[in-house]
Amino acid sequence: MNIMNNNYCNAVLKFIATGFFTLILLHATSQQVDIYPPNWWTGMKNTSLQLMLHGKDIANSKNITLNYPGVTLKKIQHVDNKNYLFLDLNISTTTKPGTFQIKLANNNITYVLKPKKKSNGISYAQGVTSKDFMYLIMPDRFSNGDESNDKVAGMKDQSLRRDTVFNRHGGDLKGIQNHLDYLSDLGVTSIWLNPVWENDMPDRTEHGYAFTNHYKVDSRLGGNKAYHELVDAAHNKGLKIIQDAVYNHVGLYHFTVQDLPMKEWLHQWEKYTNTTYKDQTLFDPYASKKDVKQMADGWFTPQMPDLNQSNPFVANFLIQHAIWSVEEFGIDGWRIDTYAYNDLSFMNKCNKALMNEYPKITLFGETWVHGVPNQSYFCENNYNIPYKSNLQGVTDFQTLWAIMDAMNKDFGWDDGVNKLYTTLAQDFVYKDPTRNVIFLDNHDMARFYTVVGEDINKYKSALCWLLTARGTPELYYTSEFATTGTTSPSDGYVRLDFPGGWREDKVNKFSFGDRTEKDNQIFNLIKTLANYRKQSSALATGKFMQYLPEDGVYTYFRYDNNQTIMIVMNTSKIDKNISFKNYAERTGNFSKYKNILTNEMGSMTDFKLGSYQSIVLELVK
C-alpha cells in the first residue's frame, strides 16, 4: 500500500498524541454490547479464546458467569477504559457446537460455537503455489453487480462518482462473482482481492486499507453475505481466494481508536511521528535504537493509527480475526500489507498461529524495498541471523525492478537484462524462492504498459517472463488489455474501472467483440500461456536454469524429468540470431520444438528473434 495525503483528520490528530483520556473521542451511548470475535468454532487446534466485550461501562458488570460443557471462563481482565472487558476462555477439544449465555449483571450475551468447517469435497485454506496464476482485483473498480449497495445510509463516505478517481465507483463482490467464468477462461486459478473489510471513513474509501471494523465486510461491497457467496462460487469453479490482511494499522474511525481500550493499544508519541519508511534500520548492524523505533512504531499515515502489536490484547485481537476469517469464509491464503512496518516478532506469532491451524495456507508479505538482502530478510531465508522470519514468501519487487530495467535500459555489465539475471542469481538467499509472488504492476504503481512506453513487443516479452519465470505470477486487473496509467497526480489513475463492469458502459471488454485488435493480442497471449502452465509440470514446479545474457539476449529454461521449456528474450534494439547449440546442456537431447504461443512445430535450427521479442518453446525429442 502506498502513502495517501488526505488532511481531513489533522484536527483529530492534535488530540491523539496527548494521552489516553483525550483519545476517547467517541463513547457508546446505548446499552448495546458488541463482542469480538462474534462467534467461534469447536474442534480448533488452539483451545484458547479471548473475547473482547465493548459497551458503555461494561467493566462495572459484576458476577460474570457462563455455563456450557467444555467451556471454561479462565480469567476476566479489566483495562483502562471501562467500556471494555476481556474474557479468557478455554474451549476443550470435546466441546460440542451450540450456544451459551455469558451472564452479566444487566445483560445476557448469547454466544455461538459452530462446528469447524468441513470441506465436503471442496477445499479451503488450500494455499497458492507456483502452480497458480493470481489475479489482483480492487473490488470498487471491477464490476457493479448490485446497484442497491452503491450508497449505504449512515456511512461517512456518500460519494459515488465515476468521473473522478477520488470517489467510490460502486464495484462490489457480486460484480466479481458475475465474472468468474471470464477469469477461469483467462487461465486464472486464484483471486487476490484488495481489502474487503468495512472502511467507514470520510473519503478515499475505495481502496479498503483503513479498517473500521474487522468483523464486517463493507456493506458497499455487499457485506458478509456477498463475501460468503463469492468465496463459495469461486471454490465451486476451482478458483482460490486470497485475502488482503492489514495488521500494522487501522482507519482513524476504527472503534478501538474512537474509544481506545487502553493507551498502549496504539504506538503513542509526544507529537505525531511518521515512520521513516527505511526498512534498512531493521537489519542494519549499526543502526541506532531511535531509527529502529521510528521505522517500526511510526505511523504509516496520519489517517491510519499504528497498532501496538507487542500489546498482547492487540495481538490476540488481530490473530483471532485472521483465524476467524479463514474459518468463517474459507479463505485460501493471505497477502500481508506493509509487512516491514509490523512488529516482526508479532508477525512470526501470527503466521505460526495460522499455519498451525491450516497447514496448507499460503502467506506472502508486501515488501516494497530495494535490494535482495532487504527483501529476503522478511521471509524464510538461509541467513544465520538473530531474527528468523517464518513468512513463506514475499511480493517480489526485486524481480519487478529487474524486468523494468531489462525492458527499458540498454544492455550493460550490470544493467539492462543483466539486472534481471543478477537478481535471480541471488535466489540462494531464500529458503524457497518459488514462494515469491512475481508481478509487473499493482494498485499502487504505474501500469507496466506505460512503464515500457506503450511498446507492445516489450509488454508481450514481460508477460512471457511473468508466466514462465520461477515464482507465483500475479496479474493486475485489466492488464490483459495493456492498460495505461500512472500514479501522478493520483494513484487512482492506476485503479480505473474495468470497461463493461457497469450497466451504462458503452464498451464491454468482458466480451470478445468489444475488444480492440491490441486487446485481443494481449488477452490471447496471457490466456494461452496461463492455461498451458496449468498442465505444464516444468512451469508449475520445474527447476530453473538461466544463461548469462549475451548482447541483450537472455535465455532460461524451466525443466523436470518430463518436460523442458526454453524461453528466449531479445532485449536488444536489433534482431538477433539464436542458436540452440549455445545451450546444448539443456537442448542437446532434443530435435524439435513446439512454439507454445502459435502451436507451430519446428526443427532445432538457428532462428531470428526480433527486437524486444520473446519466444516460449517446448522442446520435443
Residue type, 227: Y
Rg from Cα positions in the chain: 26
132 is catalytic: no
Active-site residue identified among 146, 337, 343, 405: 337
- Rounded distance between C-alpha atoms, residue 304 and residue 162, angstroms: 25
Cell numbers given for 314 = 492487540
In this structure, the number of other CB atoms found within 10 A of the CB of residue 34 comes to: 15
Annotated catalytic residue, options 140, 172, 279, 366: 366
366 is catalytic: yes
CB 206 within 8 A of CB 226: no
For residues 59 and 38, give the distance between their C-alpha atoms in angstroms, rounded to a whole number.
19
**DSSP string for residues in 143-197:** --S-GGGSS-TT-S-----TTSTTS-----HHHHHTTHHHHHHHT--EEEESP-E
Close Cβ partners of 250 (under 8 Å, ≥ 6 residues apart): 210, 211, 212, 256, 257, 304, 305, 307
Cα–Cα distance list, 499 to 32, 383, 467, 519 (Å): 44, 46, 24, 12
Separation of alpha carbons 482 and 484, rounded Å: 7
Q: Which three cell numbers stand for residue 513?
A: 467483440
Three cell numbers, residue 337 = 500489507
**Residue 610 CA: distances (Å) to CA of 10, 550, 578, 592, 614:** 55, 15, 10, 21, 8
The helix or strand, by DSSP H or E, that contains position 400, with its residue range, turns out to be: helix 397-408
Which residue is listed with cell 464498451? Answer: 507
DSSP assignment, residue 498? P
List active site positions. 337, 366
